[in-house]
Amino acid sequence: MKKTIQRIVFISLGLAFMGLNGCKDDDGDDPQTAPVVPTSNFCYNFTNLAMPYDSIQGGTILTTTNNDGFYEVDLGFSFNLCEQSFSTLFIQSDFLTTTFTYEINSQGTDLRKYYILAHGDLDFEQKFDNNTFEIVSKIITTTTGSTGNKVTTIEFREFEYDDFQGSEEYTVNYKIIFSESDNSVSYHYGPNDLTVDFSQDVFNQFAIGLYSTNELDGLFLKGNPLSPTTVFNGFNSELTTWPLENTFYKFIKK
């Protein structure tokens, strides 16, 4: 499996730290607003919501990658993340990493710019039907709305997390939602049975958030996924557990 610079940095800095210390959604529903938590000078604020999770009906299933092993998602509009605008999202086929840019160099694939963190550095695998042995995992996309108000949703349906420490397998569903009208990006978490306490896991850092060009100055979530606090350093952030079904994290551009 291809390793990435971003993943290596997360692991190495996480271990070093341990050594030193011991929006609207895709179907047009308007979730009930909540107070926006102020941040530093980063270009986004964070709002924690809860709303029913619904899977995409229809949509387009991603099946083909580019020569670098990334799925390419045409958002259908220009999305502005901080100071840059993008119309194509890249999803790495092995780690499901989502990013607006990437660079391949002698050290591997660098994903440390304009990076979207919906599942931290967790490795997800394709899930197989126990009876037919067919792959049930899918990445599905859809774009709704008219010009100026388009919403593009990417659903990661029925993916599996293999907990090597406990030899357990868990299933997750979640969506990433991009809104044209306010340049917001949201993470909506669906049915799952993932109960791992990542604060006790030395091999994975469950960091959730986003940044533009500097992973030391972004907007990340920390602590209890029901009421997370925000921090600006991705290497010092981690949710303790996977968010419950219906959790809706919205990052709103200032």
Cα 35 to chain center, whole Å? 22
Comparison of pLDDT for 102 and 34, the residue scoring more: 102
The Cα–Cα gap between 22 and 15 comes to: 10
Question: pLDDT grade, residue 227 (50/70/90)?
Answer: very high
Query: 124-163: per-residue pLDDT in tens?
Result: 999 998 888 899 999 999 999 999 999 999 999 999 998 8
CA 126 from centroid of its chain's CA atoms: 17
pLDDT at position 174 is 98
Q: What is the pLDDT of residue 9?
A: 41
- What's the pTM? 0.84
User: Over the stretch 90-99, which tens digit does the pLDDT of each residue have?
Assistant: 999 988 999 9
Output the pLDDT for position 1. 40
Confidence check: pLDDT of 59 > 70? yes
DSSP string, 83-115: TEEEEEEEEETTT--EES--EEETTEEE--SSE
| Look-up of token digits 């958002």 | 75
Find tokens 């993932």 and name the residue. Answer: 194
pLDDT beyond 60 at 37: no
Nearest to 209 by CA among 182, 189, 188, 237: 237
Residue 22 has pLDDT above 70, yes or no: no
**Mind listing the pLDDT tens digit for each residue in 82-124?**
989 999 999 999 889 999 999 999 988 988 899 999 998 898 9
**What is the reported pLDDT for 30?**
53
pLDDT grade for 39, boundaries at 50, 70 and 90: very low
pLDDT of 166? 60
pLDDT at 49: 95
pLDDT of residue 40: 58
What is the rounded CA–CA span in Å between residue 88 and residue 250?
A: 20
What mean pLDDT comes out for the span 6-33? 43
**pLDDT digits 0-9 by tens, 155-210:** 999 999 988 766 789 999 999 999 999 999 999 999 999 999 999 888 788 999 99
